[in-house]
Structure 1
């Protein structure tokens, strides 16, 4: 199957929010039938595996969508003109106060490709210098440190989330953990 056998007959944005747009594409499928494929279009995000000595820096925050307090890797939206490394360094400083001496891009992934138009880059931040966080007015989180040896267990524990699990697995696969 190729893109040529899946023709877009119509693309409709049904709503726009300050966070994302949503809509559908009317697609002609390979058998000639048509179907609406619904999507949400989100800006790119970055997830940071911040390494400080024998620890990985996590944040904990309440996520109203799942009604749980979640241990997560620091993360945020990539702003216009930023690459993943720059966005990762900025988000790490804003959320945790740590300034990174080096930031290395691990991988970029497309997220939930059945419904989202959303790209996520994963980076590793090292050579950290502590400082003061600069949280957005709607960010309520606390910084915690997890031993590198325990990072995968923390990422897999309920309530597990995809971004944190992906980041930890990529970092482990590339020899950082």
Structure 2
């Protein structure tokens, strides 16, 4: 059977809730065997993750994540606002969260995340040539800027509690020659 011939027809699409942060719902889909099934989804805005390199260090932020009740060491990240490119969002988030401005911002990759449940795109960017300025934290951001030697970045990111965006950012930057 050719699973790529045509998309599976959506018989019904329903949004069941909106949080201001994301929308959740389902699509009732006609499957190739003639049956129908509800596929649940959460629709989130695009996000960007920034691997900021300053000399031999990678700039991380430490923050408490109430959803998992853990303090996390993470790369800078945030939502891409309407009409904003990944690179522009990366510059804005880097300045807001860390107080650094980058001379160079390179988008490494953008991709769909958790495609079994999310409608969400993520971009990974590398920031270089950092200059320190003022931070502009959101009212729900209580972040500590932490510098980690680039050689230790992946090992630190893999320590519990680790997260996908930080590990992805480091691995892509390493694959593209930004980190050893």
Q: TM-score by structure 1 length?
A: 0.98
Determine the C-alpha separation between the residues in 1 that align with 2:141 and 2:7: 44
Equivalent residue pairs, number? 177
Q: Any conservation in 2 of the 1:49–1:124 contact (CA below 8 Å)? A: yes
Paired residues for 1:128-139 under 5 Å: 128-139=130-141
Residue pairs, 1:5-154, within 5 angstroms = 6-154=8-156
How large is the RMSD of aligned CA atoms in angstroms?
Answer: 0.8
Q: SS at 2:67's partner residue?
A: coil
Q: Where does structure 1 differ by over 4 angstroms across 4 or more consecutive aligned residues?
A: none
Structure 1, unpaired ranges of 5+: none
What is the distance in 2 between the residues matched to 1:140 and 1:134? 11
C-alpha displacement of 1:2:
2.1
Q: CA deviation at 1:3?
A: 6.4
Alpha-carbon distance in structure 2 between the residues aligned to 1:3 and 1:134: 49
User: Matched residue of 1:86: which SS?
Assistant: helix
Q: TM-score, normalised by structure 2?
A: 0.97
Paired position in structure 1 for 2:171: 169
Which stretches in structure 2 are left out of the alignment for 5+ residues? Answer: none
3 and 108 in structure 1: CA distance in 2 versus 1, 3 angstrom threshold: farther
